[in-house]
């Protein structure tokens, strides 16, 4: 039988790199998605070297650009007859308020709109490859986050961490909305908190938060530990108990009340579909 095909976004460093490595070691054909050609190829070489029997490919896309997300999906669909696992891992914290080329706040665009669009564009192929899995990296940072109609575009009240928290709340609402639209026996959708991990993401959280991040970073979990829950959800024998769930470690956790608000869930889905042109 052909090896399962797994797509991992944000796979050039940190949690995404170790997620790709773990999936390759599990015998899967891994497509590592990155933005920079040199960094993406270097990451591919590292995974290929450490998981010698694996087939590791790359795909390039700037996830801040919805047109690039569409091109990425078209490339994946053209080159791979099946996609068994999609890991929406890519994420950032923008250090200043800025808009993407499509006119959306950058953190929201990369962390939520990009995986929303990519998942929907690949969804038919995932269904054809069933049983398949969609794993999205959210965060405990969603606690206390707020969403309203101005979140995607306006600077009022914006901070790096509030924007990040809002995007992670969207990740959970997206997963729950996706699960309601899927037959969990065919395609499961789950999201997770990876832990507080020593990656470079906190370096861009504004100067004060970044300073604190650098102070505590030596005491945080390592990226390979941060990949553990993504790998668990991608490889657990029976993923159906986790369909629509928010997971910490290997256990289902309760997200904050906003993440369980069905009206907000539907609002986010409807508005996200409108923004990305679905």
Q: In the numeric block, which tokens belong to residue 29?
A: 């054909």
Rounded distance between C-alpha atoms, residue 16 and residue 25, angstroms: 14
The per-residue DSSP string of 197-259 comes to: B-SSGGGGS-HHHHHHHHHHGGGSBPHHHHTHHHHHHHH-S--GGGTT-EEETTEEE---GGG
Q: Which residues pair with 187 in a beta bridge?
A: 132
Bridge partner list, 119: none
Catalytic entry in 104, 164, 174, 242: 164
Query: Alpha-carbon distance 45 to 37, whole Å?
Result: 12
- What CA–CA distance (Å, rounded) separates 233 from 23? 11
164 counts as catalytic: yes
Q: How is residue 59 annotated by DSSP?
A: E
Contact status, residue 124 vs residue 44, Cβ threshold 8 Å: no
DSSP state of 187: E
Residue 73 φ then ψ, to 5°: -60, -45
Task: Give the separation between CA 122 and CA 110, rounded to whole angstroms.
Answer: 17
The tokens for 199 are: 């990656």
Q: Are 187 and 130 contacting, i.e. CB atoms less than 8 angstroms apart?
A: yes
Catalytic amino acids?
164
């Amino acid at each position: 039988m052909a090896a399962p095909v797994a797509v991992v976004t944000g796979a050039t460093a940190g949690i995404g790199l170790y997620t790709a490595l773990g999936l390759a070691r599990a015998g899967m054909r891994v497509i590592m998605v990155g933005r920079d050609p040199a960094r993406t190829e270097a990451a591919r070489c590292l995974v290929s070297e450490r998981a010698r029997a694996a087939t590791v490919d790359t795909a390039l896309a700037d996830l801040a650009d919805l047109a690039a997300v569409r091109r990425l999906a078209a490339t994946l669909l053209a080159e791979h007859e099946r996609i068994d696992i999609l890991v929406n891992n890519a994420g950032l914290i923008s250090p200043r308020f800025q808009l993407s080329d499509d006119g959306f706040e950058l953190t929201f665009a990369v962390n939520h709109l990009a995986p929303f669009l990519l998942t929907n564009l690949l969804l038919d192929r995932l269904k054809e490859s069933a049983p398949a899995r969609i794993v999205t990296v959210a965060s405990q940072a969603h606690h206390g986050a707020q969403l309203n109609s101005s979140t995607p575009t306006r600077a009022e009240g914006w901070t790096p961490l509030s924007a990040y928290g809002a995007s992670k709340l969207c990740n959970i609402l997206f997963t729950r909305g996706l699960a309601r639209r899927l037959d969990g026996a065919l395609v499961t959708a789950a999201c997770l908190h990876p832990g507080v991990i020593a990656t470079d993401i906190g370096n861009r959280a504004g100067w004060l938060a970044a300073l604190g991040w650098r102070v505590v970073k030596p005491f945080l979990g390592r990226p390979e530990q941060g990949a553990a829950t993504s790998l668990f959800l991608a490889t657990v024998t029976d993923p159906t108990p986790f369909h629509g769930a928010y997971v910490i470690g290997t256990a289902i956790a309760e997200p904050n009340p906003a993440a369980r608000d069905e009206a907000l869930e539907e609002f986010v889905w409807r508005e996200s579909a409108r923004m990305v042109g679905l």
